[in-house]
């Protein structure tokens, strides 16, 4: 990567990191803390509060992605971070589950994932774009790891409301990074007349990736409705869960970092991609087995390691593939659709996962997650990696 590509990728990844840290800090404790609010005794409503963030993200990813095509990436990113901060403040002052749901919905209105990933695609060459997108994926995963360690500690001292105040502060810090650290947008894209939702929706390769990101994030969020309870049943107290999460996450990054980029350079991206989907499917089968028997801590730990390895690989490769397949003039629109399906996955994983778990238990939950993963593997089987573009000079 050139110095300019490195600066742009790191600064844009840091915006993602600050925003996602705010989201992830509440995730490990949300179900337990939200149950203490009036109306929090209904698992389905708690799941709705967790997942509605994804619904409002889904409604606004395409409009804001197209807006970034037309009016510039930086303006849209600043607007989205401001909305995210406002929603965090509403959630921080909530005194009932209804107002908590409202705050989470407003947080989701700051739908800037498409604008950020399109910005990264604007300022990087095809041959280094997966690495740039991996920086975003790594930053997100590191924030997730930090949240697993610090979330229970912080929640014990400042409560869920305090976590949301911290989230608002992180969003404001992200706005400062956009204003003073992120480099200007390339003039060739600022001047271009962009947009093109129709051709994006007619592109089979992009639609295949859209389905994939929906399944990936629906499964990821739904899992957390059941995995913590399985760890407790396996004999690991809730305050100790972070040790398993962090170990699995770090090991998965070591494997991914040593394998993904080398295999991509050698032309094996398709094989790695399908293998990662297969890992997600295998993990769901393993968790289903654990839910139908006495849970084993080693089996759960291995399952989490394999899940993180597959998840992190797909988080790095899928948006890179989407940006390379998309027409340059419609990149924001394409990534808007992609991130919309990601957000729908978040919503479906939280809302449907809570309902399935409450009505059919963890066994039913992992059966549904496994079925979705199998469908994804079948649909993705005929994928082809995009041809390399000519390097810009």
Neighbours of 370 (CB within 10 A): 20
Query: Given pLDDT bands bounded at 50, 70 and 90, which one contains residue 391?
Result: very low
Domains and CATH numbers, the chain: 3-180+199-380 (1.20.1250.20)
Residue 216 pLDDT greater than 90, yes or no: yes
* Residues 274-294, mean pLDDT to the nearest whole number: 92
Residues in the chain: 393
Query: Given pLDDT bands bounded at 50, 70 and 90, which one contains residue 390?
Result: very low
Q: Is 305:252 a contact under the CB 8 Å cutoff?
A: yes
What does the alpha-carbon distance between residue 224 and residue 176 come to, in Å, rounded to a whole number? 32
Burial (Cβ within 10 Å: 0-12, 13-18, ≥19) of residue 133: buried
Q: Is 191:69 a contact under the CB 8 Å cutoff?
A: no
* Residues 154-163, mean pLDDT to the nearest whole number: 88
Query: Given pLDDT bands bounded at 50, 70 and 90, which one contains residue 278?
Result: very high
Pick the most confident of 7-16, 55-64, 336-345, 351-360.
7-16
* Residue 387, pLDDT score: 59
Considering only the C-alpha atoms of the chain, give the largest distance between any 2 of them, rounded to a whole number of Å.
Answer: 61
Residue 176 pLDDT greater than 80, yes or no: yes
User: Read out DSSP for 264-309?
Assistant: HHTT-HHHHHHHHHHHHHHHHHHHHHHHHS---HHHHHHHHHHHHH
SS3 207: helix
Q: Is 111:297 a contact under the CB 8 Å cutoff?
A: no
* Residues 95-117, mean pLDDT to the nearest whole number: 89
What does the alpha-carbon distance between residue 86 and residue 22 come to, in Å, rounded to a whole number? 13
In the block, tokens 């948006």 appear at 319
**Which residue has better confidence, 378 or 53?**
378
Query: Given pLDDT bands bounded at 50, 70 and 90, which one contains residue 261?
Result: low
Element of type H or E holding 348: helix 331-380
Q: What is the DSSP letter of 341?
A: H
Q: Which two structure tokens, joined as six digits, stand for 336?
A: 């808007």
Q: 53-76: per-residue pLDDT in tens?
A: 877 877 888 888 888 888 888 999
Query: Given pLDDT bands bounded at 50, 70 and 90, which one contains residue 385?
Result: low
* Residue 187, pLDDT score: 65
Query: Given pLDDT bands bounded at 50, 70 and 90, which one contains residue 196?
Result: low
What is the average pLDDT score of the chain? Answer: 83
């Amino acid at each position: 990567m050139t110095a300019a590509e490195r600066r742009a990728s790191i600064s844009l990844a840091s915006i993602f990191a600050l925003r996602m840290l705010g989201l992830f800090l509440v995730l490990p404790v949300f179900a337990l803390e939200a149950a203490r609010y009036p109306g929090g005794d209904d698992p389905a409503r708690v799941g709705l509060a967790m997942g509605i963030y994804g619904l409002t993200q889904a409604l606004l990813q395409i409009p804001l992605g197209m807006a970034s095509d037309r009016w510039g990436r930086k303006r849209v990113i600043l607007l989205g971070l401001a909305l995210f901060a406002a929603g965090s403040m509403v959630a921080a002052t909530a005194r009932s589950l209804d107002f908590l749901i409202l705050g989470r919905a407003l947080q989701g209105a700051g739908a800037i994932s498409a604008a950020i990933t399109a910005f990264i695609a604007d300022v990087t060459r095809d041959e280094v774009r997966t690495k740039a997108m991996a920086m975003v994926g790594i930053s997100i995963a590191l924030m997730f790891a930090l949240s697993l360690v610090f979330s229970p500690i912080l929640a014990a001292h400042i409560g869920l409301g305090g976590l949301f105040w911290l989230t608002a502060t992180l969003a404001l810090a992200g706005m400062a990074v956009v204003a003073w650290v992120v480099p200007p947008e390339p003039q060739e894209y600022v001047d271009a007349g962009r947009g093109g939702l129709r051709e994006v929706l007619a592109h089979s390769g992009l639609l295949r990736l859209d389905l994939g990101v929906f399944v990936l994030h629906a499964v990821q969020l739904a899992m957390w409705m059941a995995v913590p309870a399985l760890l407790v049943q396996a004999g690991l107290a809730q305050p100790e869960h972070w040790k398993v999460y962090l170990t699995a996450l770090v090991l998965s990054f070591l494997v991914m970092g040593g394998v993904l980029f080398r295999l991509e350079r050698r032309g094996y991206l398709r094989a790695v991609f399908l293998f990662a989907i297969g890992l997600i499917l295998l993990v769901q089968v393993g968790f289903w087995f654990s839910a139908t028997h006495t849970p084993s801590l080693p089996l759960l730990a291995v399952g989490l390691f394999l899940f993180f390895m597959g998840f992190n690989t797909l988080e790095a490769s899928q948006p890179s593939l989407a940006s390379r397949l998309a027409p340059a003039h419609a990149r924001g629109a394409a990534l808007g659709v992609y991130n919309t399906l990601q957000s729908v996955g978040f919503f479906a994983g939280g809302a449907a996962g809570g309902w399935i778990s409450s009505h059919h238990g963890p066994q039913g939950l992992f059966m549904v997650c496994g079925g979705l993963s199998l469908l994804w593997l079948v649909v993705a089987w005929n994928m082809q990696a995009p041809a390399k573009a000519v390097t810009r000079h």
